[in-house]
Amino acid sequence: MARNSSVENKLFSVPSEKLVLMSVCTYGMYCLYWFFRNWSGVCDIRGKNYSPLVRTWLFPFYNRNLFEEIKKIAQEREIQVKWLSSVLSYGYLLFLVGWYSPYMLFVSIFAGVILLPANKTCEQFNEANGFDESTEGFDRNDWVIIFAGGLLVIISFLNAIEPLMKSPFLNELIQYLLPAQF
């Protein structure tokens, strides 16, 4: 059932730094949280009975719909939107394919970045509706996730570059650049 409270009729937006950093430290899982919260906001604003959990779970099929809804909601409030839903959707689907690559770390960074235009539109919508707290900063739980996830990211990065460090070409390059005097 749709909720009618004006406090709940807002979209979810976070600072750009938080979106990218949390995406990196959770290997892109924070983006699913972003999808869920925005589907909940769209349902509240539109008075729809969509299941935000199902639409988030099936995000490969519904991500373009969410971007379209955010765009339409913003344009109804005369907020200028310069991004295309299809571009964001295909970009995010590229993230989905890349997530299964050995370079998942770099792909998860891309996932947070691809959502930035839509996130900014959500922030503008909230500001236009008088929600001063349209963005939330980092809280204690975020810092725990950043610390633990950051350690995993560093370990993953070191494991990814380990074969490169053992390559004969790289060893010769290092010896050439750093003479034995150092």
- Dump strand ranges (E) for 24-175: none
Buried b / exposed e over 112-127, threshold 16 CB at 10 Å, is bebbebbbbbbbbbbb
Residue 121 has pLDDT above 90, yes or no: yes
Structure tokens at 48: 């729809």
Token pair recorded at residue 115: 């959502």
Q: What is the DSSP letter of 8?
A: G
In DSSP terms, 13 is beta-bridged to 135
Distance, first Cα to last Cα, the chain:
70
Task: Quickly list DSSP for 118-162.
Answer: HHHHHHHHHHHTT-TT-B----HHHHHHHHHHHHHHHHHHHHHHH
User: What pLDDT shows up at residue 1?
Assistant: 38
80 vs 108, more confident: 80
List pLDDT tens digits, range 137-168: 788 888 888 888 888 878 877 777 777 777 78
pLDDT over threshold 50, residue 7: no
Please name which of 110, 105, 98 lies closest in space to residue 149, comparing C-alpha atoms: 105
Q: State the average pLDDT for the chain.
A: 83
Closest of 160, 142, 163 to residue 21, by C-alpha:
142
* pLDDT value of position 180: 63
Q: Could you report the per-residue pLDDT of 63-95, keeping only the tens digit for each? A: 999 999 999 999 999 999 999 999 999 988 888
Alpha-carbon separation of residue 137 from 19, 21, 158, 170 (angstroms): 10, 12, 29, 42
Listed by start position, the domains of the chain span 6-139
